[in-house]
Amino acid sequence: MKTKMKSSTPAPSSHSAPVNAWDMALEQLDTVAKHIRLDRGIHEFLRYPKTILSVSVPVRMDNGTVQVFEGHRVQHNVTRGPAKGGIRFHPDLTLDEVKALAFWMTLKCAVMGLPYGGAKGGVRVDPKKLTLGELERLTRRFASEIAIIIGPEKDIPAPDVATNPQIMAWIMDTYSMGIGYSAPGVVTGKPLEIGGSLGRNEATGRGVVVIIEEAFRRLKWPLRGATAAVQGFGNVGSVCAKLLAGMGVKVIAVSDVDGGVYSERGLDIEKMLAAKAKGAGVKDFHAPGTTRITNEELLECRCDVLIPAALENQITKDNAPRLKARMVAEAANGPTTPEADRILLKKKIPILPDILTNAGGVTVSYFEWVQDIQSFFWNEDDVNKRLKEIMMGAFNNVFQEAQTGNIDLRLAAQVVAVRRLAEALKIRGVYP
Ligand code: GLU
């Protein structure tokens, strides 16, 4: 099994320091609170994650030595239902980043109307440096360390950066061994054989494309013949690129962690996917008219839609003034800093915000959980149809909020989410 890291772009030393993701999340929350005159108590409540569990993850390596990795699971909020959110493996992972990602999951589930709160977890590790056996032992030990707070009714992990269905299967198995019976509903994004859902693998990318298509339609921009640049060629970026190319969009630039390629005429995504399946990196893709570009160049290339599908902190105050995209569709979580948001707003570049745009993954995770609880499985058409319905419904709510409030789409999405959360919190009350 291969685990591929999605793209990250380390900022060159001339750039300012990366923005702390948790500071960024709090700044966004404060902006929403001010805009809707949120009750002070509720505002305060949302500024603190409900539960933070930090664990050490000792792993017996193949050479007999023991290495210890740092892991976290953060549940930001459970007011609207069990906590929900992915687990990522990344060498630069920090607790503040996990807190921010958990907060964004709370907002994401609320804006989509899913009956969940928000969580996130991860291990600070470079999985590319582990053998398959080491990866399994790391995953199982991490799963057993967080088993005290996860469960089908409590907190349901899923894949995120550099984790995949096999890793979910190990988590499900470890948890099930501990309680003495199989609990498929403890994680989503599982392989089909053990209670996964059809359509889950492609769901995030598919959802991104639904939102882009609808945004183009509202703006009366033609999608066929439009140009797209995709940063990240992992589970999300590669599916976006494939589906967009299938709809007649020219995907002119794609990158992964090691760099990218550009073609004015549009890249052959099917060929790139075939090369990726054989283990090739994006930058090594050769075809007539195709040239190499860096991640920085990709973000600044002229295109109709720029799709950051990698990590946080990619569009910053340093590069935002140079962006030449007509629209940004956030397939990643938190790719744009608040300072960059303000710059793009001035440049009149609309941003389709992460908590709406990339919510297809958690939406089909919800379907998977429902199917597991009922032990009754749907066909792929049903999954995709219901996914589209929920994405379109959420888009409409957010778009309407933006129009009536004369605000940008990020603020509108967060307003819809925080209002729902505040309502639920008011009804439940603060315990005791
Ligand atoms: N990791 C994905 C996200 O950031 C999916 C989470 C889930 O399915 O719970 O939305």
Task: Indicate if ligand 1 lies below 6 Å from the C-beta of 158.
Answer: yes
Q: Which whole number is the average pLDDT over 247-264?
A: 97
Give the integer Cα–Cα distance in Å for 224 and 244: 9
Confidence grade of residue 10 (pLDDT, cut at 50, 70, 90): very low
Q: Residue holding tokens 């032990």?
A: 375
Give the integer Cα–Cα distance in Å for 57 and 142: 6
Task: Indicate if ligand 1 lies below 6 Å from the C-beta of 201.
Answer: no
In the annotation, is 317 catalytic?
no
Task: Indicate if ligand 1 lies below 6 Å from the C-beta of 85.
Answer: yes
Q: Yes or no: say if 352 and 330 are a contact pair by the CB < 8 Å rule.
A: yes
Confidence grade of residue 36 (pLDDT, cut at 50, 70, 90): very high
Smallest CA-to-CA distance from 173 within 136, 125, 123 is with 136
Q: Please tell me the predicted confidence (pLDDT) of residue 8.
A: 40
Q: Please tell me the predicted confidence (pLDDT) of residue 210.
A: 98
> Residues 103, 170: one domain?
yes
SS (H, E, C) 110-156: HHHCCCCCEEEEEEECCHHHCCHHHHHHHHHHHHHHHCCCCECCCEE
**Final residue of a structural domain among 323, 357, 391:** 357
Confidence grade of residue 13 (pLDDT, cut at 50, 70, 90): very low
**Of all protein residues, whose CA lies closest to atom 8 belonging to ligand 1?**
362
Give me the chain's average pLDDT, please.
Answer: 95
- 264 assigned to some structural domain: yes
Task: Indicate if ligand 1 lies below 6 Å from the C-beta of 188.
Answer: yes
Q: Which whole number is the average pLDDT over 118-139?
A: 98
CATH number for 106: 3.40.50.10860
DSSP state letter for 85: -
Task: Indicate if ligand 1 lies below 6 Å from the C-beta of 157.
Answer: no
Q: Yes or no: say if 277 and 303 are a contact pair by the CB < 8 Å rule.
A: no
Q: What is the pLDDT of residues 177-235, one digit of tens each?
A: 999 999 999 999 999 999 999 999 999 999 999 999 999 999 999 999 999 999 999 99
Q: Yes or no: say if 101 and 161 are a contact pair by the CB < 8 Å rule.
A: no
pLDDT at 14 over 70: no
CATH number for 337: 3.40.50.720
Q: How many A from CA of 62 to the centre of ligand 1?
A: 31
Number of domains in the chain: 2
> Residues 119, 212: one domain?
no
Q: Please tell me the predicted confidence (pLDDT) of residue 6.
A: 39
- The CA-based diameter of the chain, rounded to the nearest angstrom, is 68
DSSP state letter for 283: G
Give the global pTM: 0.95
Q: Please tell me the predicted confidence (pLDDT) of residue 9.
A: 42
Q: Please tell me the predicted confidence (pLDDT) of residue 3.
A: 37
Q: What is the pLDDT of residues 42-86, one digit of tens each?
A: 999 999 999 999 999 999 999 999 999 999 999 999 999 999 999
Question: Which tokens sit at 70?
Answer: 């740092």
**Final residue of a structural domain among 155, 184, 213:** 184
Q: What is the pLDDT of residues 389-417, one digit of tens each?
A: 999 999 999 999 999 999 999 999 999 99
pLDDT at 352 over 50: yes
Q: Is the bond preceding residue 432 a cis peptide, omega within 30 degrees?
A: yes
Q: Ligand 1: which atom is nearest the Cα of residue 188?
A: 8
- 37 assigned to some structural domain: no
> Residues 248, 169: one domain?
no
Q: How many A from CA of 235 to the centre of ligand 1?
A: 12
- 273 assigned to some structural domain: yes
* Catalytic residue, candidates 4, 6, 99, 120: 120
Q: Which whole number is the average pLDDT over 278-291?
A: 93
Q: What is the DSSP string of 159-212?
A: B-TT--HHHHHHHHHHHHHHHTS--GGG-SS--GGGT--TTHHHHHHHHHHHHH
Q: How many A from CA of 426 to the centre of ligand 1?
A: 27
The parent domain of residue 285 ranges over 203-357
Q: How many A from CA of 86 to the centre of ligand 1?
A: 5
Task: Indicate if ligand 1 lies below 6 Å from the C-beta of 86.
Answer: yes
